[in-house]
Amino acid sequence: MSRPAASIAAIAADVRAGKRKAVDIAREALDRLRADPCVAVTRILSERALAEAEAVDATVAGGGDPGPLAGVPYGVKDLFDVAGLPTTAGNAARLEAEPATRDAEAIHRLHAAGAVLTATLNMDEFAYGFATINAHFGTTRNPHDPARLAGGSSGGSAAVVAGGLLPLALGSDTNGSIRIPAALCGVYGLKPTHEALPLEGVYPFVDSFDDIGPFAADIEGLRLATETLRGAPLQAAMPRSIALLGGWFASNLSPDMIAARARIAAHLGAGEAELPAVDVARSSAFLITASEGGRFHAPMLADRALTYDPATRDRLIAGATLSSAIVADARRFRRWFAAQADALFAEWDVLIAPATPCAAPPIADPMIAVGGQRVPARAHLGIHTQPLSFIGLPSLVVPLRDCGALPLGLQLVGPPGGEARLFALAARLEADGLVGGWPACGA
């Protein structure tokens, strides 16, 4: 296999300075993707990648600047529209769908910044799951232990970055689908303020919660990708007050997570805070997710239900039957819960919570402990992420150092529009050696 991917910033700097050719970087990335050991890749886009890389090199040769992500190879979760290809959203039958007529807006922005699209990446079918167990395309394996899950639903995106196949990948997050695989694979991942990054050309799941975001192995790379996607820089803004979320967010944690969480809190001198009724928030998020997802898929289920993974199909059918009164109650509670979060952010700039309760569970036994019971990881790994995306808050996952044999991650959570402080705090923790992407396998 060719060498693992260098950092986003290093690749772009070398290409812009003419020290390396984007075409050579693209070929190396394509070689790594062809040897994918993690079942992370669904389609390799060789022809497009080489054409884009050649255009970058031509711009440099002509004395131009191809952009801040010049020559950076990346992949996208298989629900972003790629011009000329069907958007599968993890469903095999959609390989026969009409090809997209244009790229998703996020891909368009990365292309304009000089990045090179190389692959589409595995996911839970229709983004409904936290494990990337896909009946059609396979189960994505964790690069740090191939017998374990990568998390989901953006598992392919996290795995290619964690495994050193690509320096950058895009995913989507509805209830935790960026944050969970980022944590379990030991990389950075951002779930932005709801609708802060472009959703045009992204296959929908739940409009109330859907967002997109990047994965990277270091915080500088994540920042560069985020600034490109948002079309504006993030101003430096170190938080003045930080609190560790307790209550629900201190429950069901593994010993390694308990120790890591305490270590970060002590290092930062963090205070303590608590959100009320988080269990109700999670239940309400489940209800809204099931209802919106079920109603969106109802026409397709009526026409071709047998093309769905049975585990996905049954949950969507059940969601479509929920009464409007129950969903209205969940939406009313959501407004109340958002007000409780607003009250906390009047006192604290950043809140810290676990991204997952534990490290990645085994593929052969994909279960975790919640409330003293063994429950399926595919539905329950989001116990600490759902209540936060439920109210549209930005959350940046930082991969913990010295947290045991497998990766774990924490969420840095801010008020709507508070991403700059999350990035500043993550950069401080990385500089202090407490967080940072785990070494890529084979590096």
Q: Known catalytic residues?
A: 77, 153, 177
Determine the Cα–Cα distance for residues 74 and 22; give it in Å rounded to an integer: 12
Distance CA 18, CA 16 (A): 5
Q: CA of 372: how far to CAs of 234, 345, 366, 368, in Å?
A: 42, 32, 16, 10
Residue 253 is classified by DSSP as: -
- Separation between Cα atoms, residue 52 and residue 115, nearest integer Å: 8
Contact 88, 97 (CB under 8 A): yes
CA dist., res. 375 & res. 366, Å (int): 9
Determine whether 277 is exposed, middle or buried from the number of CB atoms within 10 Å of its CB (0-12, 13-18, 19+): middle
Q: Tokens 């969480």 correspond to what residue? A: 261
Number of helical H runs and strand E runs in the chain: 14, 17
Strands (E), 210-300: 211-216, 242-245, 271-273
Q: Residue 282 and residue 291: Cα distance in Å, rounded?
A: 14
Cα(398)–Cα(415) distance, integer angstroms: 17
Task: Identify the residue whose tokens are 């996020």.
Answer: 106
Describe the chain by its helix, strand, coil percentages, rounded to 5: 40, 20, 40
Per-residue tokens: 234: 């993030």
**Which residues, including other chains, have CB under 8 Å from residue 21's CB and lie 6 or more apart?**
15, 53, 57, 71
Where do we find the tokens 């790229």?
103
The enclosing H or E element of 229 equals helix 219-230
Residues β-bridged to residue 168: 74, 216
For residue 308, what are the contacts with CB-CB under 8 A and spacing of at least 6? 91, 125, 126, 301, 316
Question: DSSP secondary-structure letter at 400?
Answer: B
Residues 337, 282: contact at Cβ < 8 Å?
no
